[in-house]
Structures are given as structure tokens and as C-alpha cells.
Amino acid sequence: MISPKNIIDLPHSPGCYLFLDRTKKVIYVGKAKELRKRVSNYFNKNEHDSKTTLLIADIKYIDFIVTRTEIEALILENSLIKRYYPKYNIDMKDAQKYAYLHITNSEYPWLEVERNRDNTGEFYGPFVSGAIRKQIYDILTRNFRLLSKKPSPKIKKLINKEDYAKRVEKARQILKGNSEKLISNLKKEMNEASSKKYYEYAITLRNQIDALESFKEKQLIEFTKSVDSHIINYVISGGEVYLLVFSIRKGVLEGKQEYIFSYNEDFLNEFLLRYYDSAPIPQEIILPESVDPTLEDYLSKKRKSKVSIIIPSIGDKRQLLDLVLKNIHASFFGSMEKLIELKDFLSLPKIPIIMECFDISHLAGTNTVASMVSFNQGVPDKSNYRRFKVIEQTGGDDIAALKEVIERRYSAVKRENITRPDLIIIDGGIGQLNIAVKVLSSLSMNIPVISLAKQFEEIYIAGNKNNPLRLPHTSKALQLLQAIRDEAHRFAISYQNILRRKELLGK
């Protein structure tokens, strides 16, 4: 989950985005071919209709789920809308139903499009893409000459019943996803047409192949069987486990849950025991690796019905694990791209995973305070934020105040052996930078330091002869530095306001 200020953290991937209000209630769900571009449009455009303007004013948080394709995003959008009933989606897709292809139950079955499954016969779908549904329909009615409506007595006399039954059976196999042989034959036919320069016909065949391959590629977000499942995957980085749980209920993805915790050798078993101590236990738990075999029995007894723990190596369920992994990288490690850019621009010895930023705030030279915010992998690490009440009477001298705060912070870091940051950021210009460097030198601490001056967003780098430097406003590295600096300023102002209120109340 991110704030609207951090849209650059969204991936360039298809998926669904969720807008949440200040209470973290979902108020809108949308799908996108490219998440970052689509969500950015809400905040970059100057003019919107009245409903969208109200929506934007209510957005305080943004969440997202990455999918493999735009079609999967469509399915997921529909299920999320039905789950949350967001107030800004009420008149939109939540009332729609996607269409099925229906092979009728009759002597000479015909193929038709149905919105409901009220009739007898065989239903395939639903198809969330009208274009793909039409392509499949066209292939079956043209290539296999399936009837598109109830045949008249005259037409029945012209049909070879045995031959027609074979064509219907082939159509069933295609609709079930067993279309490899047909695709192979169509490709041969397309190559022959192209070699004979029948380009228009070759294009038609290519479109038919694309339609079959799109249909053959099963849509993992919506299953045909009604099994409640959890798909769990993780990444270990820097001694931390980044874990994601996808919840599937009645074959439809309902949402995701994110967890970060310290790594130990038995973390997966421990997580499952603690998680399912309170969470509903599904019929299936899909994992990337095996766990203690007694866990399956324990969960089955707790659920009072069979629980299957599955570790797939191939197939749809393996692809689901990969999809969860893709979401982990998008959710937790989306900032890595801008961290790498920042490392290269500042010529840092390593990627600045941990960054600490300082800001000084005072009111006409009084109530001088300082803030230190910590960012880990490009996102706020609020557990490591620090506030300082400046002891020395500096009379509004920001540099003197900064000197005191830097000395206090990094003397403690050195004394208590606290993890050192990869980069220190100072809100200010060359004066603030120089005093920070001087203090760190006196402490014999070699930590890269920069300062960011507000007026022109100029960057001063310790020991750089080309100071100040500027990054283009579109730079992800600059946007990250601005976000960190602004957070430090916000945190300092909030502390100053607390002290001021206490002073007014005589506390």
C-alpha cells in the first residue's frame, strides 16, 4: 500500500488498483494495462468530471495487485468490485455479467452466446473479452462449420450427421483448451498461404491462431472449480522475509495480505501455525516448498475437514506461485530501480538500502526541533524515526542546531553499535552539508552525505567539485529524495506542533 505521492512505486504491469480513503476503506477498484500510467492519469490531468474530482479528493492510499495479462485484470476487477462494493464503482461493472459460449443439447447442436447458464447443454467461459469470445466463435462456426442457430428441416437434410458430430467434438476439445493440434495445423496453413503471397488470408489465419492461443492460456485468476485456496510465496532479503498470501474463495481471487518478519530457518512452519491460529483455513494451501508433514494433519483437524498442502513444480498452480512472487517484487521491491539510479548518480559504493534524513524546524528562533526519518529499500521505516529537541539555544541558527543533532545521533550509533545508514540526507545547502561532514569526521565515521536545497532542488555531494548538481524533475532518484526530504519536514513540523500545544496548555 502506498500514498498518492509515491505513484512512481507502481509497476509497469497489468493489474488492478484499489483507491482507499483515510479509514483505509476501498472506495474504487479499476483495472489497467499498465498500472503506473493509468493511476498517474488521475493525478496528472488538470480536468476531470465531477465524480472523478470527488474520488480524487477522497484518495489517501493506493493498493494494487499485479496480473499476468489485461484479461486477468478484468476478471480480478470484477471479483474485487463484488467483494468491496466501492461507492465510486456502484454504477459501473459490478452489475455486469460476462458472456458464455453455449453448445446446445440437441440432435444437431448449435453454438450461441449466452449471458446466463439457465438452459441445458454445455457452457464454456465466461469470456471477459468480447473480442476473444468473438474470435473463438468465428473459428468454431467458420473453421469447423458449427451451426450458429437452430437448423431448419431443409438444412438438416443437407447435414451429414456423423461428420457433424465429429466437428462438434473437435469444437468441445478446443473449448476445453485441447487446441494444440489445431493450432499446429493452422500454422502450417498460414505459412503456406504466406509463401504463396496470400497475405490477407494469412493474416486471417494468424488472428485465428492468436484467438486460440489466448483461449488456450488459462486465466489463472478465475478457476472453474470452487475450491477455497491460499497461495503463499516469499522472498528473503537482508535477513527479512517478505511474504504474500493470495486468498481465493469459490474460485475467485479476493485479495492479498502482505507480511514482513525476521528470517529464521523454520520461518515458514512458524508463519503457517501463527497465521492459521486466527485466519480461516482453506481447502488448499499452495506453497513453494515442503513443510513439516504433521502440519497438514494439524490444519485438517483444526478445520474439521481435509486440508491439502500442495507444492507444485509445473502447471497452473506453479504459475500461481510465480504470480504471487511477481506481486512480492512489485509490492516490496518496486523502489529498487530508483535506488540503483540514485547510487549511480551519487557514485555511492553500494545501493542505499538504508537512508536517514534530517530536518530542522523552529518558530522565529524558538522551539527548535529536529527530525530524522529512516527509509529502508525506498519506503518509510517508521520504527526507526527519531525526534530531537535541540538543547543549545541556537537562536534560529539551523547549522548550529544540525551540528548538535548529528553529534547526538551518530555518537549513539557508534556507542550502541546501531546499523549505520548507507546514505545521510540533509535538508539544506552547502553549509548544512559541510557541518554534517565535519561532525562525522570527528567521530571517525565514513558515511556518504548529501544535502538537498529546496529552492531549486539542488543536490550537494560531500567532496564533489561540481556542486551543486541537478537532476531532471522526471528523475525517479530525485523524486525519491524529495519524498524523503518532505517526510522529514512533515515529521519535524508535527513534533514542533506537539511541543507548542504542550506549552500553550502549560504542560
Q: What is the chain's mean pLDDT, rounded?
A: 83
Task: List 357's β-bridge partners, or say none.
Answer: 373, 425
Please check the confidence at residue 34 and state whether its pLDDT lies above 50.
yes
171-184 mean pLDDT:
75
Alpha helices in 196-280 (DSSP H): 199-216, 267-275
Where do the domains of the chain lie, and which CATH numbers do they carry? 4-95 (3.40.1440.10), 99-216 (no CATH), 229-332 (3.30.420.10), 338-504 (3.30.420.340)
190-203 mean pLDDT:
86
CA distances from 128 to 65, 134, 320 (A): 18, 11, 19
- Rounded CA-CA distance 64/80 in Å is 11
What's the pLDDT score for residue 219?
Answer: 44
Q: How confident is the model at residue 253 (pLDDT cuts 50, 70, 90)?
A: low
DSSP secondary structure letter of residue 251: T
Please check the confidence at residue 478 and state whether its pLDDT lies above 70.
yes
DSSP secondary structure letter of residue 444: T
- Residues 6+ positions from 261 with CB-CB distance below 8 Å: 240, 241, 243, 267, 271
Give the side-chain half-sphere CA count within 13 A for 169.
6
Among 302, 295, 303, 297, CA closest to 271: 295
pLDDT tens-digit series, residues 382-441: 889 999 988 876 666 889 999 999 999 999 999 998 889 999 999 988 999 999 999 999
Q: What angle do CA 325, 65, 343 make, to 5 degrees?
A: 65
- Residues 6+ positions from 406 with CB-CB distance below 8 Å: 358, 435, 436, 439, 440
Cα maximum dimension of the chain: 104
CA distances from 397 to 96, 139, 390, 403 (A): 63, 77, 11, 10
Please check the confidence at residue 365 and state whether its pLDDT lies above 70.
no
Do 27 and 20 form a contact (C-beta atoms < 8 A)?
yes
Please check the confidence at residue 222 and state whether its pLDDT lies above 70.
no
| Backbone region of residue 110 per phi and psi (left: phi > 0; alpha: psi in -120 to 50; beta: other values) | beta
Q: Lowest mean pLDDT of 20-29, 358-367, 368-377, name the range.
A: 358-367
